[in-house]
Amino acid sequence: MKPFVYHQPKSIEEASVLSAKNWEEAVLFAGGTDVLGLLKDGIEEPKEVINLKGLEGLDQIDFTKGKELRIGALVKIAQIAEHPAIKQSFPALAQAAAQTASPQLRNMGTIGGNICQRPRCWYFRGDFHCLRKGGDECFAVEGENKYHCVIGGGPCYIVHPSDLTVVLQALGAKVTIVWKGGQKTVPTSQFFVLPEEDLYRENILKPGEIVTHIHIPVPDSKMKSGYLKFKERDVWDFAVVSVAASVRIANGRIESGRIVFGGVAPKPWEEETLNRELKGLPLKDADLQKLKALALKEAEPLEQNAYKIPLARNLMLSLLKELMPIIPN
């Protein structure tokens, strides 16, 4: 590991100034479960490391009944999995947190770090100077691309690795970003970027910007949500494909709904056409085959990952059947 200057700012403002000053050569550090691996493997070689752990007020979960759930960026994933109000009102989020990584990693890893974690592409994590690292080739195109994206890719084909973000987007979550002298709150659907928009970063954060909170609207009693994750191994593992959905059910129909896929694209993947098709879907005798055919219709798989398309579609149907139990199998 290359030597670096270590900062322990006391306020968000101080952290923001430090990171803005040397943005290209500084890295933010929360639980460190992702950053430390990147530093040890020499994938990132920052001159400055800015530890966020001392920042006050970012380690709280605030639940306002009927209004919103606000989670500080330094809240641990384990806390989310175990929080009684989250388990009760946001079961999909608690499920996704409980299925994230291993107990040790959930005890260290924060929600801010989870949504901002870097890609897991094995070329990116390995000794390959690929496009995302400033090189001139994506090794996944002609190489081992079983786990890469099937949609939204090009010229880089990473998949977004977080379990939590898929659920957060289905629940309509927003992310608050703070910098010295300003702040903004954006929906998660606008927080992540595709490689064609920015090849080197996975989100919209600019110099000095820090994620401070995640806000999720509290669902009414007619809303149901769920999360399904397909892993290759029955122990801790990243999702090969995952799906989250939230649906509002009234008068024997889905009034509105959102479906978001993980593991298929460089960001949590949501399709407006699919959400529109959900609207008005009857619980009884619903035409699920139409939905299935619509999902990931524009996908362009690489040589080894076409299997992800039927997997994602079938996972989506299984989840909808869980959420709408009257649908015949």
Ligand X SMILES: Cc1cc2nc3c(=O)[nH]c(=O)nc-3n(C[C@H](O)[C@H](O)[C@H](O)COP(=O)(O)OP(=O)(O)OC[C@H]3O[C@@H](n4cnc5c(N)ncnc54)[C@H](O)[C@@H]3O)c2cc1C
Report whether 225 contacts 177 (CB < 8 A). Answer: no
Distance CA 147, CA 157 (A): 9
SS3 319: helix
Residues touching ligand X: how many (CB under 6 A)? 35
Stretch that binds ligand SF4, among 6-14, 102-110, 134-142, 162-170 (CB under 6 A): 134-142
Of the pair 9, 152, the CB lying nearest ligand SF4 is at 152
Rule CB under 6 A: say whether 130 interacts with ligand SF4: yes
Stretch that binds ligand X, among 109-117, 253-261, 296-304, 315-323 (CB under 6 A): 109-117
SS3 196: coil
- Write the single-letter amino acid at 69: L
Tell me which residue has tokens 């090794």. 139
Of the pair 209, 277, the CB lying nearest ligand X is at 209
Binding mask 200-219 for ligand X (x = CB under 6 A): -----x----xx--------
Report whether 296 contacts 319 (CB < 8 A). Answer: no
Binding mask 162-191 for ligand X (x = CB under 6 A): xxx---------------------------
Of the pair 28, 121, the CB lying nearest ligand X is at 28
What does 108 interact with, of ligand SF4, ligand X, none (CB < 5 to 8 A by kind)?
Answer: ligand X
Rule CB under 6 A: say whether 110 interacts with ligand X: yes
Distance CA 35, CA 26 (A): 12
Q: Which residues pair with 6 in a beta bridge?
A: 49
Q: Which residues pair with 228 in a beta bridge?
A: 243
Distance CA 262, CA 249 (A): 24
Q: Is the peptide bond before 310 cis (omega within 30 degrees of 0)?
A: no
Rule CB under 6 A: say whether 119 interacts with ligand SF4: yes
For residue 60, give Cα distances in angstroms to 51, 74, 206, 208.
18, 8, 25, 22
> Per the structure block, which two tokens stand in for 189?
């659907």
What does 42 interact with, of ligand X, ligand SF4, none (CB < 5 to 8 A by kind)?
Answer: none
Closest to 33 (Cα-Cα) out of 126, 108, 115, 103:
108
Binding mask 55-94 for ligand SF4 (x = CB under 6 A): ----------------------------------------
Q: In what order do the strands lie in the sheet with 182-187?
A: 61-64, 68-72, 210-217, 174-179, 182-187
What does 78 interact with, of ligand SF4, ligand X, none (CB < 5 to 8 A by kind)?
Answer: none
Of the pair 53, 120, the CB lying nearest ligand SF4 is at 120
Which member of 32, 91, 172, 282 binds ligand X (CB under 6 A)? 32
> Is residue 136 packed enough to be buried (19+ CB in 10 Å), middle (13-18) or exposed (0-12)?
exposed
Stretch that binds ligand X, among 2-10, 115-123, 193-201, 319-327 (CB under 6 A): 115-123
Rule CB under 6 A: say whether 38 interacts with ligand SF4: no
Of the pair 135, 280, the CB lying nearest ligand SF4 is at 135
Q: How many of the other CB atoms lie within 10 Å of CB of 244?
A: 31
Q: Which of residues 146-165 bind ligand SF4 (CB under 6 A)?
A: 148, 156-158
Of the pair 55, 158, the CB lying nearest ligand SF4 is at 158
Quick one: how many helices (H) and strands (E) in the chain?
Answer: 14, 12
- Write the single-letter amino acid at 62: D
Q: Which residues bind ligand SF4 (CB under 6 A)?
A: 119, 121, 123-124, 130-132, 138-140, 148, 156-158
Q: Which residues bind ligand X (CB under 6 A)?
A: 27-35, 37, 52, 73, 77, 100-101, 105, 108-110, 112-114, 116-118, 161-164, 205, 210-211, 236-238
